[in-house]
Structure 1
Amino acid sequence: PLRDSHRPWKCLLALCKLPVMLRSTGTAHHFTFLLNSTDYRILRMDEDHDRMYVGSKDYILSLDLHDINKEPLIIHWPVAPQRKTECVLSGKDTNGECGNFIRLIEPWNRTHLYVCGTGAYNPICTYVDRGRRSQEYTFRLDPGKVDSGKGKCPYDPKLNSVSALINGELYAGVYIDFMGTDASIFRTLGKQTAMRTDQYNSKWLNDPTFIKAQLIPDSAEKNDDKLYFFFREKASEMGQSPMTQSRIGRICLNDDGGHCCLVNKWSTFLKARLICSVPGADGIETHFDELPDLSESLLKQPFAVFICVPSRSVFKGSAVCVYSMADIRQVFNGPYAHKEGPNYQWVAYTGKIPYPRPGTCPGGTFTPNMKSTKDYPDEVINFMRNHPTMYNAVYPMHKRPLVVRNNVDYEFTTITVDQVAAADGSYEVLFLGTDRGTVQKVIVLPRDDMQTEELVLEEVEVFKVPTPITTMKISSKRQQLYVGSVLGVTHLALHRCDVYGEACADCCLARDPYCAWDGKSSPRKCDVKYGNPIRQCRGYNSNVNKNTLEMVQYGVEGSSTFLECQARSPHVSLKWHLQKENSDRRKEVSQERSSSADTY
């Protein structure tokens, strides 16, 4: 479902909110409160060191990936008492915000991390020595190397920020002022010029909520590399009141700003709208405009994942949309948005486009003779400043969501994706975190009628106390899913094949791409796409008209018989029929369920 035979299969997968009643597997995983702290939002995997770094309030943790409940390495990094007092006196501690909330953990080199925290509304950054090898168990602050976190980490812990450390330069989408009004995409550290978006220019950023930053190469030419930012912001269309829209924006890594205009400001910044909607019977589309999360799988896999929710909060819901990277690039190569006319409406710009095309990277495929954006003509820079938005929106592949949820009492909050090489092909498995503290494991399969089939393989209750899941990371090396919330961190296995039992049919009906049946009597693998045990497993009768499996049990009239048939998969429904001796007729019988059997 994530590929299109008519275009390159590099694509983006978006998750958007709209609400399905699911049957939980009832599986609860124990988790440990690591410290008397909160807000375990930042997770950074380090599989080379077999560690996972966690940022919370006043603490930085280093967990053992083999067992995160093993005693962690801990750095206590609170603010000074005087700074906390100043923060409280400024009226900023109504909900305990006057702490040092860790919001950035980036690998600096083989031995150190770069870490930033809110610093009680005075963001600060430093280096952490993590050692050269995992066996050293080194984890300590590097003394004397604390610097300002402005432009790297927000003042307010409630405001989202994103970051990417590339070639020693830190790119961040962040609010950079005490009051939380100046949103910017910043570049600091490194040897290049410090850069930012145009300040207080609502055409560029209008009250954004940053979600993720991701480097996506455009071609084999390194100078064409762009950093994509995913965020949501307020936008006005055709004189309407501001509404929330999901955005994808991008900048060139080698952007140096303009010579006379946009000095030390991005001169290649462009953005476009992401549409994720469901057409209604009356032709009116239901839009999912709020983007809460994006998977970080774009470099490892040909797609990434978003989550969106209805902006007007009329109902709860979630949906998953898939976007082709070819479609995204086509929108960025299309017309720019321009306001004109008596109502000052957005239209496609039809005037002359200056050369080089605004948004093009210097020294790249189309500008080999221009080594810096400072070499661009002033008309290019001025055009960029006034036309940062593309006119066309990016629509999902097939113009519809891949997954839709409605009429449920929860919303998706985060998502990550694993690509699995199963016995009968390769599948993308979606792990969807919810605001009630569960994780749904989902695959979407193509059907013969050009439609798709969604399968919820299981829903796992991750936390004992229901709490929204804020972060998820996959370790393919250890086949584990690590889950974070404001309360703590836990992990669960990507697959639990043992719960499906030992029978071939049970494994086949589960349709879990992680699992295959290797029994001696029938050494066939499981059929994920169709889940047909009649074709895959020996020793089962079938009723072709009803496409069912039959297991015959015998009883003696006038006596009691224990009839047992356990459903090992959420895709199985059980029905009992009575067929008396010397009769071809069957009668469905009502049942009273116990926990392990069906009794009549």
Structure 2
Amino acid sequence: MPLPGQQSPLMIHWEASPEKQMDCQQKGKNNKTECFNHVRFLQRLNSTHLYACGTYAFHPLCAAIDANRFMLPSHFEEGKEKCPYDPARGYTGLIVDGGLYTATRYEFRSLPDIRRNLHQRPLKTEESPLHWLNDAEFVASVLVRESRDSPVGDDDKIYYFFTERAGEETTSFFDKSHVARVARVARVCKSDVGGKKILQRKWTSFMKARLVCYIPYYEVLRSVCSLDGGGWASTVFYAAFTLSAQWRTMEASAVCRYSISAVQRAFEGPYMEYQDSTRKWARYDGAVPEPRPGSCITDHSRRKGYNSSQDLPNSVLDFVKLHPLMFEEVKPAGGEPLLVKKSVAYSRLAVDRVQALDGRSYDVLFMGTGDGWLHKAVVVGSGIHIVEEVQVFRDLQPVESLVISHAQRSLYVGAASGIVQVPLATCARYTSCYDCILARDPYCAWDGRACRATATMDSTGLVQDIQSGNKGCRSISGRGSLPWKNRTVLQGDDVLLPCDQRSNLARAVWLLNGSEVLGMGQDRLRVGVDGLLVTDTLPQHSGEYRCYGEERGLQTLLAAYSLTVLPEIPRSPTAATPPHAASQAANDMKVAYISAIVTLVVLCAVLSTILLYMSCLEKRKGKYVLGEPRPSSVELQTVSANCLRKGHREEEEEEEELTYPDGCLRIIPGEAPTAATSPIKELPVAVPPLPPPLPAELTNGMGALPNVLRKMNGNSYMLLQQQEEPLVSPLYSASFTEELSKILEKRKHTQLVEKLDESSV
């Protein structure tokens, strides 16, 4: 919403009609991505109107928009030869002196084409007998005003940059199993009007040459931008490349710079010719007709009577049809790329030329990445120095457009999610002279107190060093006053001293007590990107540590620490638990945990046997009655072995019924555990046989445990024991210690859980 006093922003809603969207869906297109109006072209047509073209749900339309009213017209133009149907197709367009020069694959099944519209002489590329373009994907187009101050009366030219399938002979380095795609640069003359009988309504000046940067046949052209420096003869092209799909294990980008003179040399060199026998393009060494095929009309041509392309002889036009490809390659300035960067995919480039304080002009590149970042760099000599990296979009998405506005001193970054305005200069983020100088940003300089933009103030007293990036500050070491941080550790412990470098190009330098330089070669010291790690500290590691960021000979203090290593404190036997004791305690906990589980299993087995026995008695003697009616809840309580021995003695002496015919189990109704309050009516029943002894191993593989229970209740537990501890259960012939030893021996090779659940101990 605009602020008070400001005008409302002008906005145009240009959407595809529901009928066109339905028609698009019926053709099998995606109604979430393709069946919309994607605006692919927007430029100023003249002083009063803008010209825009959109895909309009696979029915391209174009419109002339009044720049002042900023409203769509009532009448639209057919756009099928000016704009692609498919929004995903590579496309480029320029308006030059009222003519619309576009390049794309226009219709659904058409071949790629370079066309001129909005002109009295519409033109396009030739398709027979040779296709001038082989599955081309266009990236950019650039106008070069070569007619200005031309000593030969040359014509303006439009240069097109694209990738296409390679047809020329390849080297053994290329993988024959893949179809090679190479980068190309093509050109046409602005005054071309086609041939009279041959190449009617076709380009007579179309020529193309191969563009190489770093790894031939394995690089894909992504973006191109240009600068002319005030005259066409100084025009340079910057191009960004990424590795092709064959290099799936590696991601890298390269940036190359090309001069207009290098492009001209390629177009003035030998031609190539398609050979039917080998189905490849090879160098043509035959005769070349006059005037030179593919060249523009110059003063030399006019003196011979060729005032336009329609005056050219048939031999020249026939040669143009069969020889559109040049033999010479266009190589980068210096023969190598300015920048090769791994793990980055550059998607768009924009360039600005800045006058620095040393009187030189520097090209500043803005490079958008495939994951929403922006890299700002300055070209120094034959290399590139990256000034800063900024994350423009939070979501991972390719940067699709970059536009520089000198009036707003801003860069506009466009992506699928929107447009972001970024200032060209962010000098305030450099807080010291060292940061300002080391950045080597042509937009910024140090005034003695702060880093400021050079465009907003007088250059008197400003300090800047783009060439070397290390001159201008008062000393080579920025020993600023930083607060000391105290670190105290015990001998033998490890300690990390953090130190964040402000620059990716800086090297960490550590000093101990002002003199000793610490490095990776020293014992127990590890220098990393996060700081200094001291392992297994000793008393001699105590001292004052300083961390500097060193770059191009300058050092900046980043962190300061005072480390104290205390001698190891002796521990009394009662205060500390020896390691073997701790290990034994952990084993005891595991044994107790297993004991509780097995004991519960044993009790369940005993109870099942008793219930089965009682069921048999009920079938033989009738209903089993225990005393007077009591509450339904009962408690089973184990009785010591004396009752069993007592029962045996009575059987031997009196041969009478047992006192406890239920196998020495007292069944106590209710909650009272006292035997006196629970009289039992004796029944004349036969003495049942004793239950068989429990097996040594239960079905779950766990050994039998003695009668000690561990009751689980959250994170607490309780050990329950019988009243007569010295006595041994009749089911076991050994003591508790002996049984526990047997259990540990059986379980020593069994896998145990190292870390118990949170709900257990």
Matched, 1:497 2:432: no
Question: In structure 2, what is the equivalent of residue 9 of structure 1?
Answer: none
Matched, 1:206 2:206: no
CA contact (8 A) 2:181 2:217 kept: no
Which amino acid in the other structure matches residue 496 of structure 1? T
CA contact (8 A) 2:347 2:367 kept: yes
Aligned residues: 495
CA contact (8 A) 1:170 1:189 kept: yes
Pick the aligned partner of 2:311 from 338, 359, 375.
Answer: 375
Query: Which has the larger helix fraction?
Result: 2
CA contact (8 A) 1:103 1:116 kept: yes
Cα shift readout 1:216-254 (whole Å, capped 9, x = no counterpart) = 133435652111111111122338563111110011111
Partner Cα separation in structure 2 for residue 266 and residue 286 of structure 1: 29
Pick the aligned partner of 2:333 from 383, 394, 397.
Answer: 397
CA contact (8 A) 2:339 2:383 kept: no
Matched, 1:529 2:467: yes
Which amino acid in the other structure matches residue 85 of structure 2? Y
Judged with a 3 Å threshold, the aligned counterparts in structure 2 of structure 1 residues 354 and 505 are, in CA distance, closer, same or farther, namely same
Pick the aligned partner of 1:235 from 166, 170, 185.
Answer: 166
SS state at 2:310 partner: helix
Mean alpha-carbon deviation: is it higher for 86-95 or for 396-405?
Answer: 86-95
Partner Cα separation in structure 1 for residue 135 and residue 7 of structure 2: 41
Pairwise CA distance, 1:566: 8.3
Question: In structure 2, what is the equivalent of residue 74 of structure 1?
Answer: 11
Matched, 1:311 2:241: no
Which amino acid in the other structure matches residue 499 of structure 1? R
The normalised TM-score by structure 1 is 0.75
Partner Cα separation in structure 2 for residue 558 and residue 231 of structure 1: 60
Matched, 1:160 2:90: yes
* Structure 2 residues without counterparts, runs of 5 or longer: 171-175, 451-459, 490-496, 520-524, 526-530, 534-546, 548-557, 563-761
Which amino acid in the other structure matches residue 59 of structure 2? N
- The two structures, once aligned, show a CA RMSD in angstroms of 3.3
Partner Cα separation in structure 2 for residue 576 and residue 103 of structure 1: 55
The normalised TM-score by structure 2 is 0.60
Pick the aligned partner of 2:146 from 203, 211, 218.
Answer: 218
Judged with a 3 Å threshold, the aligned counterparts in structure 2 of structure 1 residues 575 and 586 are, in CA distance, closer, same or farther, namely closer
Matched, 1:519 2:448: yes
CA contact (8 A) 1:288 1:308 kept: no
Question: In structure 2, what is the equivalent of residue 432 of structure 1?
Answer: 367
CA contact (8 A) 2:65 2:72 kept: yes
Cα shift readout 1:293-346 (whole Å, capped 9, x = no counterpart) = 111434767322212122334131111112121121111011110134853443
Partner Cα separation in structure 2 for residue 254 and residue 504 of structure 1: 54
Mean alpha-carbon deviation: is it higher for 297-306 or for 326-335?
Answer: 297-306
Judged with a 3 Å threshold, the aligned counterparts in structure 2 of structure 1 residues 164 and 149 are, in CA distance, closer, same or farther, namely same
Partner Cα separation in structure 2 for residue 86 and residue 520 of structure 1: 65
Question: In structure 1, what is the equivalent of residue 117 of structure 2?
Answer: 188
Question: In structure 1, what is the equivalent of residue 324 of structure 2?
Answer: 388
Partner Cα separation in structure 1 for residue 473 and residue 123 of structure 2: 62
Partner Cα separation in structure 2 for residue 209 and residue 306 of structure 1: 15
Pick the aligned partner of 2:74 from 116, 138, 143.
Answer: 143
CA contact (8 A) 2:240 2:255 kept: yes
Pairwise CA distance, 1:70: 9.4
* Structure 1 residues without counterparts, runs of 5 or longer: 1-33, 35-63, 132-137, 278-284, 447-451, 543-547
Question: In structure 1, what is the equivalent of residue 509 of structure 2?
Answer: 575
Partner Cα separation in structure 2 for residue 486 and residue 555 of structure 1: 47
Matched, 1:339 2:274: yes
Question: In structure 2, what is the equivalent of residue 442 of structure 1?
Answer: 377
Judged with a 3 Å threshold, the aligned counterparts in structure 2 of structure 1 residues 342 and 579 are, in CA distance, closer, same or farther, namely same
Pick the aligned partner of 1:90 from 10, 24, 27.
Answer: 27
Partner Cα separation in structure 1 for residue 438 and residue 83 of structure 2: 48
Which amino acid in the other structure matches residue 196 of structure 1? K
Question: In structure 2, what is the equivalent of residue 302 of structure 1?
Answer: 235
Pairwise CA distance, 1:81: 1.8
SS state at 1:228 partner: strand
Partner Cα separation in structure 1 for residue 486 and residue 159 of structure 2: 71
Partner Cα separation in structure 1 for residue 107 and residue 485 of structure 2: 81
Which amino acid in the other structure matches residue 391 of structure 1? F
Judged with a 3 Å threshold, the aligned counterparts in structure 2 of structure 1 residues 275 and 525 are, in CA distance, closer, same or farther, namely same
Higher normalized contact order (CA 8 Å, seq sep 6+, divided by chain length): 1
CA contact (8 A) 1:510 1:571 kept: no
- Percent identical across equivalent pairs? 33
Question: In structure 1, what is the equivalent of residue 694 of structure 2?
Answer: none
CA contact (8 A) 1:435 1:467 kept: yes
CA contact (8 A) 2:498 2:532 kept: no
SS state at 1:382 partner: helix
CA contact (8 A) 1:434 1:468 kept: yes
Pick the aligned partner of 1:321 from 256, 261, 264.
Answer: 256
Cα shift readout 1:260-312 (whole Å, capped 9, x = no counterpart) = 111111111100000112xxxxxxx5655311111143476732221212233
Pairwise CA distance, 1:585: 5.6
Which protein shows a greater Rg?
2
Pairwise CA distance, 1:493: 1.0
Question: In structure 2, what is the equivalent of residue 16 of structure 1?
Answer: none
- Counting only pairs closer than 5 Å after superposition, residues 454-473 of structure 1 correspond to structure 2 as 454-473=384-403
